[in-house]
Structure 1
Amino acid sequence: MKVNWEGVYPAVTTKFTADDQLDLEMFETNIQAQLSAGVDGIILGGTLGEASSLMEDEKDTLVKTATEICNGQVPVVMNIAEQTTKGAILAAEKAQKNGASGLMMLPPMRYKADDRETVTYYKAVANSTDLPIMVYNNPVDYKIEVTLDMFEELIACENIRAVKESTRDISNITRMINRFGDRIKILSGVDTLALESMFMGAGGWVAGLVCAFPKETVAIYRLKKAGCYEEALEIYRWFLPLLELDINAKLVQNIKLAEVATGIGTEHVRAPRLPLYGDERERVLRIIEEGLATRPELPDYLNL
């Protein structure tokens, strides 16, 4: 299925049972909620998907299951977060075999590759597959920045099509558009900068709190796209305290707690992560409860 790299792409959480197995029933419940809300794709195995703690067979199961659930309605994108080029090529191959329509791809894990090594890594994987690739550019969390000069080299690979822009430098969107036009599709990767990024020219949003609030997230995107800026801003301003739960070291626990509150998830995480407790949990619950108490009535955003 073609990936357009526009619109709302949830970076879905991985659902676990109390005994640390994949919870495919709740996984389907959540993805069905995303589809009903009107999302444009599903991303698996990202930071929110607890990628570093997933077993290889679990990744295979998630891609196969998500592809079956989506059934051609939207593309399924698998994240690649590997320590070696060999491992990344194998992961891309398996993702395609299991039904993924595209890849999101981080730079090498653990080893802090320099610019030349990073470009070579991306090119090697891109040249090994015909799946379209979105570069995940998050130097804040992963310590390697894919610069504009590096993108100049990467676009020689036709299937490197998009960037998840998570540098936190919103002017980087303008720099990319000025230099590459629409050759590289830009999706905001930071919830608290999403609407601002779309106003600056990003065509999509790789979203986190969408996992718990899919309709509100899609409504913001659709309203902005339709030119209903005040309506989009009103929802976004309500959403901001919740969106700030995404820019936190415990974003997985935060968002899973929000999923519980909206009935489309559980708190189960994989160790060494543990569910929130004590004052920290109470603080996050207060934010979620305030959001639910003031949740806005949404317009008919799917028919704008």
Structure 2
Amino acid sequence: MNWKGVFPAVTTKFHADGSLDMDLFFKNIDFQLESGVHGIILGGTLGESSVLSQEEKITLTKETVDYVAGKVPVILNIAEGATQDALFWAAKAKELGASGLMMLPPMRYSADGREVVTYFKTVADSTDLPIMIYNNPVDYKTLVTIEMFAELTECENIQAIKESTRDISNVTRMINRFGDRYQLLCGVDTLAMEELLMGAVGWVAGLVCAFPKETVTIFNLVNEGKIEEAREIYRWFLPLLELDIHPKLVQYIKLAETHCGIGSEHVRAPRLTLIGEERERIEKIIKEGIAKRPKL
């Protein structure tokens, strides 16, 4: 598994009646692929996985794998409260043809270090799919510590880390401890260029859902050592990237996708579409970003 590159955590598209809108979903996927993304991640926070039925997750995974047809890896996120459910999805992902897994610590129960490590090891030992651990203590309240990652080194298929601690120095800390044992991918849009400069090899991105060309261009320029060119685009991008670090990131990013012609605002309850002052404020950011969009 090559974890290097831009991996969109894609949104799930719905019709007004709440059913899956696969046509619009694939329209967005086409734009992602044409822009040069390096993989697709399904079932994350942006994908509204918590409000999808088991059947819908299976449909979304199977149809995406079939549609992408090996052009890039398709990664399924596992965010479950029970180990048996995580094991089910690891096996189902393999059956449906997914290329790898992204895994959060156990949901809803605040597991201690021993429990988190056991959870990850149990799932890793059950599959040969490569795994990326999603370390996001800010939103999900469980920190996967360096000591815990040291215990996980024995699981060869745990290969990558989505680094979302909000601590840029953690990239250096991890590299100092583990070298290249783990591939580090930035999981916070507003820190992406900084973490790429410090040694992260990938970007699990949110605003890429609406602005894939700009996201991929920043990644490529950093990797080519063209820092000034990347910085200029990144500075333009930052007000938009900040939409990714809000509890309503799903609504914000779906509104951006809509303005870019590659998505819709439809969300699943309890989420509601934006109204009033909040909507006006977010639309202003999006419209200004589009108006000042850099020529690539």
Same fold judged by TM-score > 0.5? yes
SS in 1 for 2:41: strand
Contact 1:9/1:205 (8 A) holds in 2? yes
Tell me the residue number matched to 2:181: 183
Question: Partner amino acid for 1:124?
Answer: T
TM-score by length of 2: 0.99
The one of 111, 114, 118 equivalent to 1:113 is 111
Partner of 2:125 in structure 1? 127
2:51: which partner in 1?
53
> In the alignment, what sits opposite 1:224?
222
**1:90-131 CA deviation, whole Å, 9 max, x = no partner?**
011111111110000000000000000000000000000000
In structure 2, what is the Cα distance between the partners aligned to 1:155 and 1:39? Answer: 28
Give the AA of the match of 1:161: Q
The one-letter amino acid paired with 2:153 is I
Query: What corresponds to 1:302 in structure 2?
Result: none
Output the amino acid matched with 1:128.
S
Q: How much identity, in percent, do the aligned residues show?
A: 68
Q: Determine the structure 1 residue equivalent to 2:288.
A: 290
Q: Distance in 2 between matches of 1:232 and 1:66?
A: 31
Match of 1:8 in 2: 6
Equivalent of 1:39 in 30, 37, 40: 37
CA distance in 2 between counterparts of 1:98 and 1:273 reads 29
Which string of whole-angstrom CA distances, capped at 9 and with x for unpartnered residues, describes residues 175-226 of structure 1? 0000000000000000000000000100000000000000000000001101
Query: What are the ranges of 5 or more consecutive residues in structure 2 without an aligned counterpart?
Result: none
Aligned length: 296
**Alpha-carbon separation, structure 2, partners of 1:49 and 1:95:** 16
Distance 1:179 1:22 in 2: 44
CA distance in 2, matches of 1:292, 1:39: 20
Q: How does 1:51-90 map to 2 (within 5 A)?
A: 51-90=49-88
Q: CA RMSD in A?
A: 0.5
Q: Distance in 2 between matches of 1:25 and 1:225?
A: 34
**What is the aligned partner in structure 2 of residue 27 from structure 1?**
25
Matching residue's letter, 2:223 = K
Gapped regions of structure 1 (runs ≥ 5): 299-304
AA aligned to 2:233 is I
Distance of 2:278 and 2:5 partners within structure 1: 33
TM-score by length of 1: 0.97
* More off after superposition, 200-209 vs 60-69: 60-69
1:69 positional shift: 1.7
CA distance in 2, matches of 1:31, 1:177: 33
1:66 CA displacement = 1.0
| 8 Å CA contact 1:32, 1:69 repeated in 2 | no
Report the alpha carbon displacement of residue 67 of structure 1 after superposing the two structures with TM. Answer: 0.9
Give 2:237's aligned residue: 239
Contact conserved, 1:31 with 1:69, CA < 8 A, in 2?
no
Residue equivalent to 1:259: 257
Residue 301 (structure 1) aligns with:
none
Matched residue of 1:12: which SS?
A: coil
